[in-house]
Amino acid sequence: MKRRPLIAGNWKMNGSSAFAVSLAKELAAEPAGAAEVLICPPFPYLPAVVAAVQGSHVRVGGQNAWHEPPGAFTGEVSMDMLVDVGCKAVILGHSERRHILNENDALINSKVRAARAAGLQAILCVGELLEERDAGTTNAVLDTQMTGGLAGVDAALLDGIVIAYEPVWAIGTGRTASPAQAQEAHAHLRNWLRTRYNPAAADGMRILYGGSVKADNALELLQQPDVDGALVGGASLKAASFLPIIRAGNQAAK
């Protein structure tokens, strides 16, 4: 089954207002292609970036959000607030939030369900640490994170969910999972979906690869049969490095 590639840029905690608007305008000026394009700037720059890409093919998302309705949660941002400023998606369970900010599967699951209830596309990140890969427990780790992250999520809600496989050992390290390693993990995740849900849900789910994706490795990764796009970190911070990845997504879709 041919799935539309999704190329998502996670800007993490980088940039300024001027930087964000300038980069967003450069990306929006690129002609639309077969791949879907999403950019996720830091919270303070979301309204300006939404305005900068208005009328273009570029969608905007948040890097995280809180699962409760608006209320007394100092320092947090609700799903409704993301929707209010024009976001269409939100990244949840990123490895930095799991391993630096100690988010567990139960919390991430609450966020996934809250995102879908608010009408946001949820990008659920899963992936193993280097020691887990070396110990041969990658599949078990992925199974645990998928089971926890999608608890209580029925097949009807899966249309608005994207899985992002990000081997933690390949994020910001310059190391990248080989195309074969990426394909193996993605195929395992798709099989998990087939077993837990049904073949149609598994075939329809987009599974992105995230982990030191660059212009020179993007096409080979994106041409793997179960790799449906990329969640890009550092390379998404410059149009000169992000646009070639988008173009690779367009080419892989053919």
Q: What does the DSSP 8-state code read for residue 169?
A: G
Q: How many distinct structural domains can be found in the chain?
A: 1
Residue 131: inside a domain: yes
Residue 161 placed within a domain? yes
Q: Is the pLDDT of residue 147 over 90?
A: yes
Question: Treating both helix axes as pointing N-terminal to C-terminal, what angle do 17-29 and 239-252 enclose, rounded to 10 degrees?
Answer: 30
Catalytic one among 36, 128, 132, 166?
166
The residue-averaged pLDDT of 141-159 equals 96
Helix, strand, or coil here: 122? strand
Which pLDDT value is given to residue 2? 81
pLDDT at 175 over 80: no
Residue 1 lies in a domain: no
Average pLDDT over the chain reads 96
Q: Is residue 84 part of a domain?
A: yes
Is residue 57 part of the annotated active site? The answer reads no
Active site residue 36: no
Residue 242 has what pLDDT?
Answer: 98
**What pLDDT does 254 receive?**
81
Q: 22 exposed, middle or buried (CB, 10 Å; 0-12, 13-18, 19+)? A: middle
Phi-psi region of 39 (alpha: psi -120 to 50; beta: other; left: phi over 0): beta
The whole-number average pLDDT for the span 227-239 is 97
Tens digit of each residue's pLDDT (9 = 90 or more) over 53-69: 999 999 999 999 999 99
pLDDT at residue 177, rounded to an integer = 85
Distances in Å between the Cα of 225 and the Cα atoms of 36, 40, 102, 187 are 17, 26, 33, 9
**In-domain check, residue 199:** yes
- CB atoms under 10 Å from CB of 116, counted, come to 19
Give a yes or no: residue 102 inside a domain: yes
Mean pLDDT of 80-94: 98
pLDDT at position 170 is 85
Domain of residue 235 covers: 6-252
State the average pLDDT over residues 168-172: 83
Q: Is the pLDDT of residue 173 over 90?
A: no
Q: What is the pLDDT of residue 221?
A: 96
- pLDDT for residue 22: 98
Please say if the pLDDT value at position 174 is more than 80: no
Catalytic residue, candidates 67, 94, 186, 188: 94
Question: pLDDT tens digit string along 35-47?
Answer: 999 999 999 999 9
To the nearest whole percent, how much of the chain has pLDDT over 70? Answer: 100
Q: Tell me whether residue 173 is in a domain.
A: yes
CATH number of the domain bearing residue 214:
3.20.20.70
